[in-house]
Amino acid sequence: MPETSHLDLPARIGPYRVMSRLGEGGMGVVYLGADESGHKVAIKVIRREYAADAQYRARFESEVSAAQRVRPFCTAPVLDADPKADPPYLVTEYVSGSSLAAAVDRQGPLRGADLEALAVGMASALTAIHDAGVVHRDLKPANVLLSPYGPRVIDFGIARADDMTRLTATGGLVGTPAFMAPEQLNGTPATAASDVFAWGATVAYAARGTTCFTGNSIPAMIHQIVSGEPDLRGLQGTVLDVVRAALAKDPAKRPSAQRLLERLVSSSSTQEQPAAPSTAPPFPPPQPVLPPPAVGTDQSAALVERQYREAAEAGDTAAMYNLGVLLSWRGQTAEADYWYRRASAAQQSYGYQPTYHSAYTTSPAAQPPRYNHLALYAIVLGLVGIITCGLPSIPAIITGHMAWRQIGRTQERGLGLAATGLALGYLMVAFWLLVAFGAALPDEDPSAQLPTPAAT
């Protein structure tokens, strides 16, 4: 975040000493400041024309409260805010580093591990933001800072004015539409799915060095976003597949931020099927000691593991579970089991159910877990095997065992279905074994059973 000197600086904003001016955006001015202990912070002061709107102030206060609940996964955490000040201001952690937009403009597109680390870091940030019930609304390269410790997403959870990211009364557009989802351009309020679309457009920008939706004018660009296909040259492999899914025109067809993260991290895993949690004594001490080593050699997995571990050790239940999933993918089942049990015990103690898979809604309420698809296959194959007395019983047993293992790891529903599919499969196998055993018995000679006639 570059610093620029400015002669007309306020001496203090609240309890913070102002040091310099960092920049200016549509909603306000950002200053570099310092708290009483000398730690640097970024202070965003809302413009007075928005602060004069009582409805905007109320929305600002509500969204700042939600933003303070966001876990610090690749974000600049909200440290303080005063919605009642004149003007209102928001204080976040100061991130040293240039924006993604400036870095690409200066050094060109990102490639290889750098691009993967960016995609994973942004997906991790969106997961934390959405789990707190917050929608970013304005994710773009200028709001992604490349710090020495990885990418950081900034400027989330700040209420925008009603006409922001929409056409104004004079027909002008506030900001560039290149990273807006089709539904936003049609006037629909932004949702978590809109953030996922912006994630895909931003990753594509980092890989290409330019936007994936182009046009000679703003109307032409909007037409491409709404009706055209993105230009994804520069992307490849799993990142290409995930970005293409994120840029789906229909919001309902886009994956959640959590799913983005899972697909990106699991793509580099060498362990396809993680082992189910064992029944070891509860809460053994974890194997690694602080500071922990990275679970993988690639930069992106190490970044996510560090962020999840910090939050898990601070007591965050969702981070405990997600860290367990990541460690299972890496084959470190002993420590993964430890975090699974920690997460389960925390849920029982506090009655808290974290939203591991965010729905496309601004409500933080958790959704009921879905049914495991392998369990559904197991019960269907088991029933077909019973009806047809055929070979589907063998796949029923295989999918039933796979479902049993997955349910123990993911906490999805369907354990009863998996058990029933297994039982039906084994029942049919036992039936055919009995038939085969009966067919293998030697036939008896009927004449040997006739009594010998008595001699006359």
Query: Among residues 114, 131, 138, 195, which one is catalytic?
Result: 138
Let me know if 354 is exposed, middle or buried by CB neighbors in 10 A (0-12, 13-18, 19+).
Answer: middle
CA–CA distance, 371 with 177 (Å, rounded to integer): 38
Query: Is 138 an active-site residue?
Result: yes
Q: Which of 415, 426, 335, 445 is nearest to 385 (CA)?
A: 426
CA–CA distance, 336 with 321 (Å, rounded to integer): 9
Q: Which of 157, 99, 95, 93 is nearest to 131 (CA)?
A: 157
Binding-site residue ranges for ATP: 44
Q: Classify 117 as helix, strand or coil.
A: helix
The set of residues, in sequence order, having a beta carbon less than 8 Å from that of 186 and lying 6+ positions away, is 226
Residue 323 in tokens = 């860290």
CA–CA distance, 257 with 260 (Å, rounded to integer): 5
- C-beta of residue 386 within 8 angstroms of C-beta of residue 428: yes
- Bridge partner list, 209: none
Binding-site residue ranges: 44
Active-site residues, by number, are: 138
